[in-house]
Amino acid sequence: MRGWAPRLMWDAWRTKRGGLAALKTKQRLRLTEMVAFARDNSRYYRELYRDVPEDVGDIKLLPVTDKKKLMARFNDWVTDPTVTIETVREFVDNPKLIGDKFLGRYTALTTSGTTGTPGIFIWDDRTMSVISALALRMLSSWLTVSDFVRILVGGGRMSMVMGAGGHFASAVAAARLRKRRGKRMQALSVHTPLQELVAQLNQFQPSILAPYASIAKLLASEQQAGRLNITPVLTVLSAEGLPAGEYGRVAKAFGSKVGNSYAATECPFLSYSCEHGWLHVNSDWVILEPVDADYQPTPPGEQSHTVLISNLANLVQPILRYDIGDSVLQRPDPCPCGNPLPAIRVQGRTPDLLIFPDHAGKQIVMAPLALEVSNLPGLQLIQIVQTSPTNLRVRLLAESNADPERLWESVQSTIKRTLTEHALVNVTIERADEPPEQSTGGKYRSIIPLN
């Protein structure tokens, strides 16, 4: 697989430059190859595609799948028999291995389970090369030559503000970047109190700032108030979106370009934003299908019930017509930015901030991600609902073999510790009788701020 990245970068540039016809040709060729490979090498897909014609000209002939179905058949799903659910679980359960290669050749990642089922995903070398190629496509659309020069002159320092712990994509990416970039890479936790976060960023002075979108809102306010004083060339938002007006506010606060992407662990190179607020789908390497509740196509210009994705890069763990649970709107006409890639907007990924009064009545603002709880033994799913300015209602779903009382004690102490770190000692934590509730599209919001 060595040498793939440069070739794929050239291919990505040439295909996009060729317009819609070139993009559709690449997509059709890669879909045919992926379906054939999955049928030949995955027991799960061989059974699923038993009645599917050999030559798949229409992707709608393929059955729909989802995380729950695939995780239940993990060992039959993967195409490499040395990858088993037992060995990969042992790997991802060890926090010391974050950033290391699984079996010396794969990237193993976990998801928090917003669809109700925690997932374990494997990226192969081809996937990593496609990520690199499409990252260059993305950065080239956001930055000018002078922007790249400014980043280099500034030392290329990068600050990530991400979820702490677990083999999540952001944690794995940060661990690998630290190995490559050394002191030019700063990894900060979303759980860090805002005042401390501001102090560390002021000291580091990043050229590239990469926070979750909700954290970017807080940091932009700190910059406008004069407490934060950094001058990043590029601010890259991840995990969530922002209301339309907030992108301009963040850009103005930092005096930087602002980029956003809609992606998932199942397909990390899914899309990237343009200056008109649309997300362009990398359709030469992924097929995105907006559909209704019966998995019938949703016309462009209409909001979908959910969306199906087909990852055309990952050979070790094929993901084809996979229900990702998000609602999207596809633009019915060409985007004014001139990018020929399909343009979409995603509903339901815009975070609201948590606002609490402290013991003195002062407002404490937190990003929802700061309260997220994960990686506790026995925890399958958690949903924290702010029901009043000083009350949190916690909905839990425990694993079948877990002790519910011990799990509640662990969850409660974890939340209390985070609140205490933010000087919030007057917030009540309430245990709910009801389980976590799904939102439209079938996902579970882990944190629901007060409306």
Least confident of 91-100, 201-210, 442-451: 442-451
CATH topology agreement for domains 4-128+263-347 and 354-448: no
For residue 440, what pLDDT is reported?
A: 52
Sign, Cα dihedral of 164, 170, 146, 336: negative
More confident residue, 318 or 173: 318
Q: What is the DSSP letter of 201?
A: H
DSSP-assigned beta bridge partners for residue 208: 158, 234
Domain-wise residue ranges, the chain: 4-128+263-347, 154-260, 354-448
For residue 95, what pLDDT is reported?
A: 84
Please give the full DSSP string across 381-431, using - where no structure is assigned: EEEEEEEETTEEEEEEEE-TTS-HHHHHHHHHHHHHHHHHHTT--S-EEEE
Cα separation, 372 vs 174, whole angstroms: 19
> Cα 337 from chain centroid?
24
For residue 177, what pLDDT is reported?
A: 83
Mean pLDDT along residues 202-227 = 91
User: What digits encode the pLDDT tens for the residues 44-63?
Assistant: 999 999 999 888 878 999 99
pLDDT category, 444, cuts 50, 70, 90?
Answer: low
Neighbours of 311 (CB within 10 A): 26
Q: Quick one: tokens of 45?
A: 């897909």
Mean pLDDT along residues 310-338 = 94
Q: Which of 102, 142, 125 is nearest to 233 (CA)?
A: 142
**Is 146 a residue whose pLDDT tops 90?**
yes
CB burial string 326-365: b at 16+ within 10 A, e below: bbbbbbeeebeeebbbbbbbbeebebbbbebeeeeeeebe
For residue 1, what pLDDT is reported?
A: 47
For residue 443, what pLDDT is reported?
A: 58
CB burial of residue 296 (10 Å; 0-12, 13-18, 19+): exposed
For residue 438, what pLDDT is reported?
A: 66
What CATH number does the domain located at 154-260 have? 3.40.50.980
CATH architecture of the domain formed by 4-128+263-347: 3-Layer(aba) Sandwich (3.40)
Q: Kindly state the percentage of the chain with pLDDT values over 90.
A: 58
Mean pLDDT along residues 125-148 = 94
Cα separation, 225 vs 243, whole angstroms: 21
Report, in angstroms and rounded to the nearest whole number, the Rg of the chain calculated over CA atoms.
22
For residue 239, what pLDDT is reported?
A: 67
What CATH number does the domain located at 354-448 have? 3.30.300
Phi, psi torsion values for 187, nearest 5 degrees: -110, 115
Q: What is the pTM of this model?
A: 0.81
Q: In 41-142, at which residue ranges do the beta strands (DSSP E only) sit?
A: 107-110, 120-123
Mean pLDDT along residues 402-428 = 90
Least confident of 87-91, 162-166, 306-310, 354-358: 162-166
Q: Which of 265, 299, 267, 306 is nearest to 283 (CA)?
A: 267
